[in-house]
């Protein structure tokens, strides 16, 4: 049997300027795909419409091109799996949710965020009160209730019901290409949201549907998303899809060691360009932070011959340019 073609991707959100942390992840994802002779896909994750900034998508593409990171398919050039913007893929998300509802892998939920928080803080015997990396853990209030009853309850509060995945507290270990075997947490997979009450697909559902539809075989992304991986693997299984391999690269911290936020975020690529910093200097800093072997770094392609995902730095890094 012929091995599947290697397909990687970078999927930024156009909610702000690209900074060094974003660029580092993009570079490593690109190197991983290109070093294996694979294709590279650019997808714009713009589901959170209120946060999308005018011109941000074009600026992201410009910054990537300036760094020498190219792509074979994307919103600017199309491809066999278009559209490459999540805001234009609602039909695919709805079809997946309908399938999950039909086979009992998902259920309607009338609970608001406040309801979930209140239930999580109340004394129970079935796991509520626990908080995981995604916030208060859903207590299962609407699980197993008739859809008509849930819909009526949501309507009485002036909204449509959300849709949740029935996680069943499944415990899924997985192999990370950088960190090795990742053991499931003690709480297992929660009943996470697939579609919000406003009708918008949630990130966990959209990213699985898109990566599967676009034939992505390797996902290289930031370590902050490693906790989402069991959820996504469970979704792949429920939809009868084969998951890609995952690799979670180290986060970039501020010089003081803080996790990046607006006040601690490193300089944007655009601001570095405006100050006259060269693409070569940025690439050198990104490569050094990842622990890539020294050598000529005149372009992104100069990094390809010696690249090995297994050898990049695992720990969080600080990254600054003058």
| Same domain for 94 and 84 | no
Judged against a pLDDT cut of 70, whether residue 2 lies above it is answered with no
| Same domain for 94 and 83 | no
Judged against a pLDDT cut of 60, whether residue 78 lies above it is answered with yes
Q: pLDDT, tens digit, for every residue of 18-59?
A: 988 899 999 999 999 999 999 999 999 999 999 999 999 999
What are the strands, taking DSSP E only, across the chain?
7-10, 39-42, 106-109, 131-132, 135-136, 162-165, 174-176, 180-182, 193-195, 218-222, 245-249, 252-253, 317-318
Which of 286, 250, 280, 249 has its CA nearest to residue 267? 286
Whether residue 2 is contained in a domain is answered as: no
Domain span at 54: 7-88+250-318
Whether residue 308 is contained in a domain is answered as: yes
Looking at 148, 174, 203, the residue that finishes a domain is: 203
pLDDT band at 259 (very low <50, low <70, confident <90, very high): low
Judged against a pLDDT cut of 70, whether residue 107 lies above it is answered with yes
Active site residues: 262
Q: What share of the chain in percent tops pLDDT 70?
A: 88
Whether residue 171 is contained in a domain is answered as: yes
Lowest-confidence pick of 144-148, 228-232, 317-321: 317-321
Please state, in angstroms and rounded to a whole number, the distance separating the CA atoms of residues 67 and 215.
25
What pLDDT is attached to residue 127? 37
Whether residue 167 is contained in a domain is answered as: yes
Looking at 138, 171, 203, the residue that finishes a domain is: 203
| Same domain for 128 and 96 | yes
CB contact set of 308 (below 8 Å; sequence gap of 6+): 35
pLDDT band at 102 (very low <50, low <70, confident <90, very high): very high
What pLDDT is attached to residue 318? 81
| Same domain for 178 and 96 | yes
Whether residue 28 is contained in a domain is answered as: yes
Q: pLDDT, tens digit, for every residue of 275-314?
A: 999 999 999 989 988 988 666 668 999 999 989 998 898 8
What pLDDT is attached to residue 304? 93
Look at the chain and report how many structural domains it folds into: 2
């Amino acid at each position: 049997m012929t091995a599947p073609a290697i397909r990687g991707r970078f999927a930024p959100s156009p909610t702000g300027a690209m900074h060094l942390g974003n660029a580092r992840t993009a570079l490593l994802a690109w190197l991983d795909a290109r070093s294996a002779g694979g294709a590279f896909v650019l997808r714009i994750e713009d589901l959170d419409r209120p946060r999308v900034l005018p011109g941000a998508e074009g600026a992201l593409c410009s910054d990537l091109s300036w760094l020498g990171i190219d792509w074979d398919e994307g919103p600017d050039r199309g491809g066999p799996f278009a559209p490459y913007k999540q805001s234009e893929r609602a039909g695919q998300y709805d079809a997946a949710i309908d399938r999950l509802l039909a086979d009992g892998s998902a259920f309607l939920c009338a609970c608001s965020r406040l309801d979930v928080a209140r239930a999580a803080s109340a004394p129970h015997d079935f796991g509520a009160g626990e908080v995981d990396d995604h916030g208060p853990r859903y207590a299962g209030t609407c699980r197993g209730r008739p859809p008509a009853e849930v819909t009526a309850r949501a309507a009485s509060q002036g909204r449509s019901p959300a849709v949740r995945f029935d996680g069943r507290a499944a415990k899924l270990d997985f192999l990370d290409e950088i960190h090795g075997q990742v053991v499931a947490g003690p709480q297992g997979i929660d009943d996470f949201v697939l579609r919000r009450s406003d009708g918008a697909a949630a990130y966990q559902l959209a990213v699985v549907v898109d990566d599967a539809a676009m034939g992505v075989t390797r996902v290289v992304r930031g370590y902050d998303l490693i906790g989402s991986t069991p959820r996504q693997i469970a979704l792949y299984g429920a939809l009868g899809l084969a998951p890609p391999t995952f690799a979670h690269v180290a986060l970039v911290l501020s010089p003081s060691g803080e996790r990046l936020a607006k006040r601690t975020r490193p300089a944007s690529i655009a601001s570095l360009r405006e100050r006259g910093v060269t693409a070569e200097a940025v690439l050198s800093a990104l490569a050094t932070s990842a622990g890539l072997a020294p050598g000529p770094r005149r372009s992104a392609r100069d990094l390809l011959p010696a690249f090995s995902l297994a050898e990049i730095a695992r720990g969080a890094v600080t990254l600054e340019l003058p």
